[in-house]
A and B are shown apart, each in its own frame.
Chain A
Amino acid sequence: MTWLLAIPGLPAACFLVFLVSSRRIRERLLPLPAVCSFITLGLSVTALARVWPGGAEEPVWRGVLPFAPLGDHTLELSMALDPVAAAMLIVVTLIAACVQVYSLGYMHRDERKGWYFGVLSLFTSAMLVLVLSDTLLLTFMAWELMGLCSYLLIGFWFEMEAPRKASMKAFLTTKVGDMGFLLALFMIWSTVGSFEYRAVLESLGEWPAAAAAMAGFGLVFAAMGKSAQMPLHVWLPDAMAGPTPASALIHAATMVAAGIYVVARMLPLLALTPWVMEFVLAIGVATALMGGVLACVQHDVKKVLAYSTISQLGFMFIALGAGNAEVALFHLVTHAFFKSLLFLGAGVIIHAAHTQDMRLMGGLGRHMPITAGTFTVGTFALAGLFPFSGFFSKDEIIAVLVHHDHWYAAALALTASFLTAFYVNRLLFRVFSGPEQGELHEGHPSMLASLVVLAGITCVLGFASPTFAEFLGGEGVWPELGVALPSLAVAGAGLVTGWWIYGRRGVVVNTRIYKERFARLYGVLDQRLHFDTFYRQMIVEPFAIVASALATIDRTAIDGVVNGAIGFWKRAAVVAWSFDDAAVDGLVNGLAKIDVSATRLLDDFDNGFVDGIVAGVGHVVTAASAVRRVHTGNVRTYLIGLVSATAVLVWVLTR
């Protein structure tokens, strides 16, 4: 089954083609990545058919590449196809295909779209490698490659300042998390001597408690960076400065889910240490709540979606912390579909309204029925309404919490889903109802096609919930009424509150009264809970102070020493000069007087002999100016001389 290698291979080939070809050829090849992603989708479906009906522990295919022989050990890169990987392959390739098709419409006016499509392909390839990877080493490589692509795509419009800064911030923040990944890699290698997932999971009995805690915590920390969990979430809202379809693929569906995916695969290792699991649960709950609260006060459509992504990733962390990987992965899958649908819908909205600010939008619903319909499907799935996919996956998470007696966590998760329903309705009413603003038109057909496909999946995917769990080797259950009804009631309450504030009387209510009544709270929320301020004041500014102090030391102390030394030598030179003037010249002049008389005696000798020598020197100088032409001062000429001389030397020595 080596054809599986074509799944990450084809997008990578697309990237290479785009990298080496000229702009003119690139412009003609624009549909190539979309075609490739459809082929990889077909291959992924075939792969899924091979794994079906799943549930097995052993992978159906495994490919190993010896990568680096190190003394007695050999580092291996390997890929394997197991049920989890097969399911994720479908998700990634399907969303990638939708995003590629959508981008053809979205980016068609951009000048550097060739580069955009190339990097998007490279990203897809990296994500597919991560999904198929069977060793943590290869996972880490793909993980870093995705980080690079994310950096490139966030900063795609690097002419503007905001994307440039945001790309830097995203890269550095996720790098902080990556330190955790490295720590985990070190611990795993020193304990097990192998990076293979199955080898690590089989050796769990032999792990010392401290090593298991460090490795587990390292992985969690890495996932917190990549999956934007508090307090490392700050990069994701800013990352919205990139192109919207890239946000849909990278910052909603796939890359931010990679942290969840890796932790879900290594969950038994984390479960060795109870406090790590509790930490995951606490971080998840805090992030879900924080994301929900902050999404309520954003005015930028994409930032609302970004905070809601953070919040939903928090829900996945909650499921992981409760020890249920299948439920976390199912929420990952449903979220990937409905959130990429929402982002793509937001892209159409932004194209039509020419702004991202919700306060400047309104009345889009009447002119853009397809966008409005599909967007509503996505938001209802996000709010967790029956029968959309979000209902099933979110309900399962709360059910897991209830079954494990995490009552506080369950209550807080319900609060977060109330907030979700609230901001979802705020979004819907602000964008689609109210007075119309600007010239409105429906999006490009390729964009709408992607929306319709994703909305269709969002409508039906929830019913696959038990099948999905059994496919991954877990236990498939339908939602229980005891959990589903409270959760639906909470979501309904959130929707009604949202309607009460934003949708009543069919116009957008002036929300200033709320802002004034809760001015202090709103101020804190408006500053995103001061996370950025904290980082700026505690990390960036102290660092800048230390750096400028070092620069001052460099300028005053080190340059001072150097300048002092120069000054000393200058003074010494002046002293030597005056000595030269007074003593040496005096001596010379004295000698000269003696000389004059002697010179006359020597005059004849001079005419005869010395002039002959001078004439000879003259000939030498003439010859030298011929050589001078070789001495061009041009480094390249010298190098050519060096290389040819070396070649001659080699020839002589090896003859």
Chain B
Amino acid sequence: MITAAHYTVLASGLFCIGLFGVLNARSALRVVVAVELMLNAVNLNLVAYAVTSGARPASALAFVLLLIVIAAAEVGLALALVVALSRRSDITAIDGYATLKG
């Protein structure tokens, strides 16, 4: 029997992989993908609790759909940023950008 706990463990695992990717990846593209992973870990959690709670609220699923749409918009924006960055200086490794340095 798969309980909510199993899903939570899986989701937190996914989230941690995503987090590791965000912190560790050099390529901006990889960071974007890792962020997607984190978002989807959250989605998985929402769906898991919606399904295992017994009440099966449709609102949770609606929320997940909203998140998916937001994630899609976020990817669009992030990819545009990556393209703009690489056009400016041909570097997509995010370490190459330190203009915020104080």
Contact = CB atoms under 8 A, between A and B. Distances in A.
A634 B102 contact: no
Given A639-B22, A643-B19, A633 B56 contact: no
Given A636-B23, A636-B95, A631 B101 contact: yes
B58 A634 contact: no
Nearest to A624: B102
Q: Which 10 pairs of residues, A with B, have the shortest CB-CB distance?
A: A633-B101, A633-B98, A631-B102, A633-B100, A71-B58, A69-B56, A634-B98, A628-B102, A635-B94, A639-B23
B51 interface: yes
Contacts of A639: 22-23
B61 interface: yes
Given A633-B100, A633-B102, A643 B95 contact: no
A633 B58 contact: no
A632 B96 CA distance: 12
Q: Which of A70, A628, A635 has the most CB of B within 10 A?
A: A635
Given A628-B102, A633-B100, A70 B19 contact: no
B101 A632 contact: yes
A613 to B, nearest CB: 24
B40 to A, nearest CB: 16
Contacts of A636: 23, 94-95
Contacts of A640: 23
Contacts of B94: 635-636
Contacts of B19: 643
B99 interface: yes
Contacts of B61: 70
A634 B95 contact: yes
B63 interface: no
Nearest to B51: A69
Interface residues of B, number: 15
Contacts of A643: 19, 23
Nearest to B97: A635
Interface in B71-102: 94-95, 97-102
Nearest to A71: B58
Interface string A568-601: 0000000000000000000000000000000000
14 contacts: A628-B102, A631-B101, A631-B102, A632-B98, A632-B101, A633-B99, A633-B100, A633-B101, A633-B102, A634-B101, A635-B97, A636-B95, A639-B22, A643-B23
Interface string A622-655: 0000001001111110011001000000000000
Nearest to B50: A69
A71 B22 contact: no
B37 to A, nearest CB: 15
A635 B94 CA distance: 8
A639 B19 CA distance: 10
Nearest to B28: A635
Contacts of B98: 632-634
A643 B34 CA distance: 15
Interface in B20-70: 22-23, 51, 56, 58, 61
A477 to B, nearest CB: 52
A635 B102 CA distance: 13
The winner among B61, B94, B97, B102 for most chain A CB atoms within 10 A is B102
Contacts of B100: 631, 633, 635
B56 A71 contact: yes
Interface in A47-73: 69-71
Nearest to A640: B23
Nearest to A638: B100
Contacts of B51: 69
Contacts of A628: 102
A70 B99 CA distance: 49
Interface in A187-246: none
Contacts of A633: 97-102
A321 B99 CA distance: 68
A27 B100 CA distance: 46
Nearest to B19: A643
B20 to A, nearest CB: 10
Contacts of A632: 98, 101
Nearest to A631: B102
B31 to A, nearest CB: 9
A598 B22 CA distance: 60
A634 B94 CA distance: 8
Nearest to A69: B56
A620 to B, nearest CB: 15
Contacts of B23: 636, 639-640, 643
Contacts of B56: 69, 71
A71 B98 CA distance: 50
Given A631-B100, A639-B22, 19 more contacts: A69-B51, A69-B56, A70-B61, A631-B101, A633-B97, A633-B98, A633-B99, A633-B100, A633-B101, A633-B102, A634-B98, A634-B101, A635-B94, A635-B97, A635-B100, A636-B23, A636-B94, A636-B95, A639-B23
B61 to A, nearest CB: 7
Contacts of B101: 631-634
B5 to A, nearest CB: 17
Contacts of A70: 58, 61
A643 B22 CA distance: 11
B16 to A, nearest CB: 11
A150 to B, nearest CB: 24
A642 to B, nearest CB: 10
A558 B6 CA distance: 51
A636 B97 CA distance: 10
Interface in A39-96: 69-71
B72 to A, nearest CB: 18
Nearest to B26: A636
Nearest to B24: A636
Contacts of B58: 70-71
Nearest to B25: A636
A640 B23 CA distance: 7
A70 B59 CA distance: 10
A70 B51 CA distance: 10
Interface string A468-493: 00000000000000000000000000
